[in-house]
Chains A and B, each alone.
Chain A
Amino acid sequence: METTTLTAKEEAKQVKKMKRSETWRRVKRNKMIYLMILPGLIYFLIYKYLPMYGLIISFQDYKPYLGIFGSEWVGLEHFNRLFTSSEFWMIFKNTLVLFGLQIFIYFPIPIIISLMLNEVRHSFFKRGVQTLIYIPHFMSWVVIVSISYVMLTLDGGIVNAILETLGFQKVNFLLNDDWFRPMYILQVIWREAGWGTIIFLAAITAVDPQLYEAARMDGANRFRQMWHITLPAIRNVIIVLLILKIGDVLELGFEHVYLLLNSSNRNVAEIFDTYVYVAGLQQGQFSYSTAVGFFKGAVGLVMVVFANWLAKRFNEEGIY
């Protein structure tokens, strides 16, 4: 009995060893190719992993003049403060709601636009539309938010002027917290939807035209072709992009939200990014805001892993 277990163990060891030497040999054989990933590796080490040591300060009462090594350790105090703060759930909820809007309202739009553009026969028209809807992507949020402000203000804004001439009540778009979310998501769609179509359109062009011919032969109309050929063909791309999007769960565009944020919509517009900025950089609470950022990063990581797992459950390729 004992001997058999031993041999089994040894065998496993042997196999492991062989496997390891096998990997090692492969690396050795292709060392030049492996060397080529070195610059990328160095980049990630220096700019992505090295700065992570700064997360230490979220467990300290960090004082810049004492440095990371001199500051006092306070354990989880900052996390305690975050989770017990009355603002925490508000910020958490706001972040998730904006995230939900991004996933459920914004995300499908580029797909729909791509499918629609794909059906356009006139290539001149198609290109023209494509170019036009890309353009907003190159505008900065400052410009977009300012334009919205000028259009929506009660003091001479054109939208309210039109509402008034049509006999409606003026609407306080900027100061009413009910309007923050629609305004946010509409601006996101206006700016990003066109740009988002690029990858989908590229994926669509890769679909084998023979499939369409065969389908037409079988009497499928255009809608059926779209449903049974185009969409399944780009399903992989959609899922990968969705996972990446979920990975960005808490990256809702700091600049954009911060520009829209004001005293009367803070209860719906304050998100982790804006909170970190105000608490950390403007008010100098380095440790606390690092703790908030840390938490945000952890949530993002969980979401990506979860989304990837979900994708694999449905027999799709994940991102890793």
Chain B
Amino acid sequence: MSNWKKLMGIMLLLLFVLLAACSSDSTTEGGDNSGGDDDSSEETNEEEGADSDEPYAFTIMANLHTPEVPNEKVLEQIEEATNTDIEIQWVPDNNYEDRLNTAFATNSLPEAVFLKNQTTFIQFRDAMEDEQFWEVGQYLDQFENLSNLKDNVLDNTRVNGNLYTLYQGRPLSRQGLIYRKDWADNLGLEAPTTTDEFMEMARAFTEDDPDGNGEDDTFGVTDRSDLVYGAFKTVSSWFGTPNEWGEQDGQLLPEFMFDEYKQTMDFFKEMHENGYINQDFPVTSKPDQQEFFKNGTAGMYVGSMGDVGSLYNDAEAINPDVEFDVHNHIEGPDGEFGVWAIPGYGSLVMFPKSSVETEEDLLKILGFFDQLMTPEVMNYAYWGIEGEHYEVVEDRALPTDDQSLFDREVKPYQAIEIGEPETNGRYEGYFDYEVKAKSEELFKDNENYLIENPTVPLYSETYVDDGARLQEIITDATYNYIIGQIDEAGFDDAVENWKSQGGDAIIEEFNASE
């Protein structure tokens, strides 16, 4: 009996030890990530005591666009320059929304949290209105650099006139066409200037053997399962479709109620029927889409023209004779060119009250972002260490040839940029590949033809709650129309369905808040 008791006692003890170990694990977890440096920094902290020079420690949650978490080489430079001790929680881009929502639901967001895009910003509007995040607009004037942030972009991110976020700038529109210049030359084609010529190029690239190997092994346009950043939305702009919402007879209506949207669908349907576009594009991933372009299967790529750099890098390795070109100006049937614009920001950073407890803490964190917006620090974050990760050529940064080194050590940190080169003074990129340089020029040219989304400053509660789910109805219907699973009546049914499930309320609310 006493043996039993002992045994049980030991087992219980073990259980408690295990439980205790588990809980203490989670509290020290934060420190573990940053590796061996911790010990030394803690010691120095103790020696210095509560000196005001003590690095301020906080955590940033940011979006990881590369497969690997970067090492801390660049981060250490940033920390040194800003006298902070930063931990970055990297979250892979693919499940950023999950993590963001889960962390929010469990009240475990860190001090500075990057949103993913406009859609996630809209999701968090409610919480911002409820003052769950710090209003930062009132403090911007205290900071030399933060006060330089562009007013028109800030206005796009206000909630009821208040500002809860700092923005990460993006060119307003990078959309355009990348195509195989060498194929076009073989067939005597010029860059398309109208949608008809675009269709002709897609046909010729499919049927006229552009690579001259005598085999029917090419097609025109390569696209992926993304109606917005894939080809569809950009082509729809050429046709003159509004950006998300447009005005008709004095009323704001969603883009898919416009004839131009249907024309775009018909355009894609025609390409799909004739095999000018990859047949499985509604389920094609971005890497697969790009692969068709890189390996010489497809000759036209509609999307961000800036992609030409990385596309060319890989394509050249497969076929050294490959030639690309970029083009933006393609007119629709009405003879007008237009291109859709984002509201000037890519991502936004916000500061939850649950983790930033006092105004003093907030000011310190804002202080960090203020320092980050100086050319010196921002160049660390964006380009890395001069001489090691980039060279300065003609006052621009030329990243190292060792792309994988750059991806591993620097590129992830670009996700914490605030502002844009105009306001944060970092180097713009220098491109020795002239087509890439041309694409940068075309971004600027695009700005003369922008189609803006008129609902950006407007508010609709139903849209916040249900917009994303409702949009799915339209997205599905659009694909199904293009691949011929439903006809126009079927698409109209989907629009009716959208309206009855809450779309009518969205239309009403947007028009009322105008």
Contacts and interface: CB of A to CB of B under 8 A. Distances in A.
Interface stretch (A101-109, A186-194, A276-284): A276-284
Interface stretch (B27-35, B62-70, B122-130, B340-348): B122-130
B476 A282 contact: no
Given A263-B282, A284-B101, A86 B476 contact: no
Interface stretch (B146-154, B202-210, B478-486): B478-486
A151 B164 CA distance: 48
Contact of B479 (A36, A155, A264): A264
Given A63-B127, A63-B130, A283-B469, A35 B8 contact: yes
Contact of B97 (A36, A64, A281): A281
A286 B476 contact: no
A155 B15 contact: no
A145 to B, nearest CB: 10
A86 B501 CA distance: 9
Contacts of B284: 155
Given A263-B475, A281-B97, A64 B225 contact: no
B469 A172 contact: no
Size bracket, chain A contacts: 35 or more
A285 B465 contact: yes
B107 A264 contact: no
Contacts of B15: 39, 42
A32 interface: yes
Contacts of A38: 12
Given A263-B225, A281-B101, A282-B98, A175 B8 contact: no
Contacts of A281: 97-98, 101-102
Contacts of B130: 63, 65
Interface in A124-166: 149, 153-156
A93 interface: no
Contact of B8 (A32, A85, A149, A282): A32
B497 interface: yes
B278 interface: yes
Given A281-B102, A282-B468, A65 B279 contact: no
Interface string B2-21: 00110010011001000000
Given A174-B283, A281-B98, A285-B465, A266 B483 contact: no
B493 to A, nearest CB: 11
B497 A86 contact: yes
A166 to B, nearest CB: 18
Interface in B78-105: 97-98, 101-102, 104-105
A261 B430 CA distance: 42
Contacts of B8: 32, 35-36
A63 B282 contact: no
Contacts of A32: 4-5, 8
Contacts of B123: 283-284
Interface string B223-244: 0010000000000000000000
B354 interface: yes
A140 to B, nearest CB: 15
A21 interface: no
Interface of B: 4-5, 8, 11-12, 15, 97-98, 101-102, 104-107, 123, 126-127, 130, 132, 219, 225, 278-280, 282-284, 292, 297, 354, 465, 468-469, 472, 475-476, 478-480, 483, 485, 497, 501
25 contacts: A32-B5, A35-B8, A36-B8, A38-B12, A42-B15, A64-B104, A64-B106, A65-B354, A67-B107, A153-B280, A155-B284, A155-B292, A172-B279, A175-B485, A263-B225, A263-B282, A264-B282, A278-B472, A281-B102, A282-B101, A283-B123, A283-B468, A284-B101, A285-B469, A286-B101
Given A155-B278, A175-B485, A283-B468, 11 more contacts: A32-B4, A35-B8, A39-B11, A63-B126, A263-B225, A263-B479, A264-B476, A264-B480, A264-B485, A280-B101, A284-B101
Interface of A: 32, 35-36, 38-39, 42, 63-65, 67, 85-86, 149, 153-156, 172, 174-177, 262-264, 266, 278-286
